[in-house]
Chains A and B, each alone.
Chain A
Amino acid sequence: MTVTDVPIATPSPVLAASRRRGRGFAPVLPALALVVVVFVIPVLALLLRSVLEPEPGLQNYAAFFASTTYLKVLGNTFLVAGTVTIATVLLGFPVAWFLAIAPSFWSRLLFAIVILSMWTNLLARTYAWMVLLQRTGIINRTLMDLGLISEPLPLINNLAGVTIGMTYIMLPFMILPLHATIRSIDPAIFQAAALCGASRWQAFTRVMLPLTASGIAAGALMVFVMSLGYFITPALLGGTSNMMLAELIAQLVQSLLDWGLAGAAALVLLVITLAIYMVQLRFFGFGQARS
């Protein structure tokens, strides 16, 4: 619809409203088209293959849920995503809090570090962790030089490696929403809590935590969902015995050429992600998670 279609002399409220709606929507169309073409269609195609290949039916899903190997991969995916989420909350909360209350020089410096690490190439960062975590890496050598351990710790190609690497990579996604939430709280509220007689711990549990719950939830959702489908870091820092779902999908497609089973695994991941998102919406609401 174009502007000239509407007779200016007789403005109709209905037409005007629909014109406003149409105009508001138009700028979104290119991006929407891109998403449909490069995301929705391929994903639908893959999901279709999961019920069509090698023959129509749900045998791919049956196979996925019948296999203890695949279920173990699914369980491992949850374990890693859950551990990483908890670790980022515990590590990210103090950082977000410091960012909100520190003198501006320090908070800006820390902010720059957080953002800069996010902007650095993911592969480069993951390889850096490989260098740090390997048997002859800096961490193991330092610990051995200090005499704290006699044998190198197994820090890579296992759960520990994946958790360490992914926690580091996911940390900014926890810190940023949490920082926004904490910064929106008037510090005078904590002075009021103190004069009311609340100890530091009581002020934290009775005031700080309830007021930051929405920020924690927003950050946790972001980290958990991103972790569920993460590929590069688990592939480089993890081992074969604790494979994650994204690695499994890649392997099914690339090595086994089993597009049907890969599609089934992908749908399982998508459904889980959506379900978690729904739960979060139910408890915190979209608007609240943002504010």
Chain B
Amino acid sequence: MTFLEISNISKTFGKVAAVNDVSLEIARGEFVTFLGPSGSGKSTTLYMIAGFFEPTGGDVRLEGRSILAEPSNKRNIGMVFQRYTLFPHLSVAENVAFPLRVRRWPAAKIARKVEEMLALVRLETFADRMPAQLSGGQQQRVALARALAYNPPLLLMDEPLSALDKKLREEIQDEIRRIHRQTGVTILYVTHDQEEALSLSDRIALFNQGRIEQLGKGRELYDAPRTRFVADFIGHSNFIDCTITRSEGESADIVLPDGGTLSGISLHGAAVAGARAGLMIRPDRLHLSALGKPAGPGIDAVLSDATFIGETYHFVFATGWGASVNVRIPASRVRPDDVTIGARMRLHWEAADARLFSQ
């Protein structure tokens, strides 16, 4: 059964559509991330589920029941915010106890639960500290304990790590993953950081201009982007300008600016013969070989820059028509002597790794 069902939800501010007809079904225990650039509608969607914004249209059903008519405090949803929102006048333990006190739990039960939650986020020894005495990471862990204390079936997280530095972010990501496994709570997580989204989520909903551009597992979004935006946003991509010479369903033939032709490339979006398009290939799916060696589809290009960044080499090639193409190759497969700026080489790829996006 669908646990959380968001159907055709919209929100307009004045004339601007912040969220435009978004639908999404989430299963119990799933970890779903709303990923997207700022202003793409991901936080607005989360805030409508939290009850801070009233949708202009559509519905949100939790376990089959619409929650839109209920105020935030009746929705029994947990949330961790981007900013630090611990109550500054209450200690760590009192903060975690707050949602239980307003629910009028008996004191002994509250004490047990607070202890359990602080153990969950590994802050048992900090019970009597005040929020101002904690680091940013510790504050967000207390916020997590507070949000989970009343066993909410759904936990919302709105860029909870964006105020923390990189190392701490990775540490707390591990904590979040562990807590998700341990509690089985359903999590809706908002971030603009694709690595965070890829490492945490079961599924990612990539938002753009108020809509979900693509929904799927991280690997699906990376390997099979359905739009140019997805291909561009997730991971690194090269887009080589080309012109379509023939299109049939989801397959097309193209001609490159230097006159080279390629056929049978998988096409996304409608495009007629003569239309311009972008040929997308990931930098790590490109191979290098000496000129003249025919090895499937490819182009000739001149090496203009090479950077060694530890595990990989990062090459920049210039094509005959002045475009640049990025290539990433594991350092173990590159001999330092092979790297000669100005060398002409053949860049080639597996037919399945190239995708065509109409413009």
Contacts and interface: CB of A to CB of B under 8 A. Distances in A.
A191 B85 contact: yes
Interface in B52-84: 52, 71-79, 81, 83-84
B202 to A, nearest CB: 23
Contacts of B146: 192, 196
A215 B72 CA distance: 28
B89 A210 contact: yes
Given A198-B102, A206-B98, A193 B52 contact: no
Given A188-B83, A191-B79, A192-B87, 14 more contacts: A188-B85, A191-B50, A191-B52, A191-B81, A195-B51, A196-B73, A196-B99, A197-B74, A197-B150, A198-B73, A198-B99, A199-B73, A206-B101, A210-B89
B81 A207 contact: no
Interface residues of B, number: 28
A102 to B, nearest CB: 17
Interface in B140-163: 143, 146-147, 150
4 interchain residue pairs of minimum CB distance: A196-B99, A192-B85, A194-B72, A210-B89
Interface of B: 50-52, 71-79, 81, 83-85, 87-89, 98-99, 101-103, 143, 146-147, 150
B85 A197 contact: no
A interface SS class: helix
Interface in A175-215: 186, 188-189, 191-199, 202, 206-207, 210-211
13 contacts: A189-B87, A191-B50, A191-B81, A192-B85, A192-B87, A195-B75, A195-B77, A195-B147, A196-B99, A196-B102, A196-B146, A196-B147, A197-B103
Interface residues of A, number: 17
Contact of B102 (A189, A199, A210): A199
Interface of A: 186, 188-189, 191-199, 202, 206-207, 210-211
A199 B83 CA distance: 22
A86 B179 CA distance: 49
Nearest to A186: B83
A206 B99 CA distance: 11
A199 B150 CA distance: 16
Nearest to B47: A191
A192 B98 CA distance: 11
Contact of A192 (B74, B76, B81, B89): B81
